[in-house]
Amino acid sequence: MITITKEEENVLNQIKSYSDEKVDVSIIKEDLGIYEHDLNDLLKSLDSKGLVNYDGSTVMLKEVDKEINTVNSKEDVLNAELNQKEKSSFEIIKSLQDDEGFVSRYEIEGNLLYGELKLSDFRMYHILLSLENKGLIEAVYRKNGDYYKVL
């Protein structure tokens, strides 16, 4: 799932109206009536999310198979992406648990940092804390080290 803001959605819809051809950025700027600097930021964001090809002067729509979710603000985008990362992280943690529901803290950290998600240290600890606050996991100390218990 790709999460975008309403402003990004407006720009994306305008690009879609030109079908499969490259569109000059000045045309989109005139059509939407927004400042060039703002449009540049929105196009860079859409390009980084893999929805368009943007080279600074022209833009072309990419074909994307993923679902696009629209939210009101950049903060909402971050929250939605974090929620997706939390879900993925929790699935990984559940797959690592033993018969009693315990997982070594180091095993979780290794899988989240270097596995499929490749989270940063800060993001990983933020997600683990969030999962604890939501009551999905619990940090516990056992005689052989630090663990998390899947609740």
What is the pLDDT at residue 103?
A: 92
Q: Please give the pLDDT value at position 111.
A: 92
Residue indicated by tokens 């603000």 = 73
Instruction: Identify the CATH assignment for 73-150 out of 1.10.760.10, 1.10.10.10, 1.20.1090.10, 3.20.20.70.
Output: 1.10.10.10
Domain coordinates in residue numbering, the chain: 2-69, 73-150
pLDDT of residue 20: 67
Output the pLDDT for position 106.
92
Same fold, 2-69 and 73-150: yes
Percent of residues in the chain assigned helix, strand, coil, to nearest 5: 50, 20, 25
Q: Do the beta carbons of residue 48 and residue 41 sit within 8 Å?
A: no
**Four-way CATH pick for 2-69: 1.10.8.590, 1.10.10.10, 3.40.50.720, 1.10.1200.10:** 1.10.10.10
Q: Give pLDDT, residue 29.
A: 87
Q: How far is CA 90 from CA 82, 83, 103, 130, 137, in A?
A: 12, 10, 12, 11, 9
pLDDT reported for residue 27? 86
Under 8 Å between Cβ of 145 and 106: yes
Angle, helices 25-32 vs 6-16, to 10°: value is: 120
- pLDDT at residue number 78: 67
Q: Cα(120)–Cα(99) distance, rounded to whole angstroms?
A: 29
What was the pLDDT predicted at 24?
86
- Whether the full predicted model's pTM is greater than 0.85, yes or no, is no
**pLDDT score recorded for residue 23:** 85
Residue ranges in the chain whose pLDDT is less than 70: 20, 78, 81-82
Task: Note the pLDDT tens digit of each residue in 100-128.
Answer: 889 999 999 999 999 888 888 998 998 89
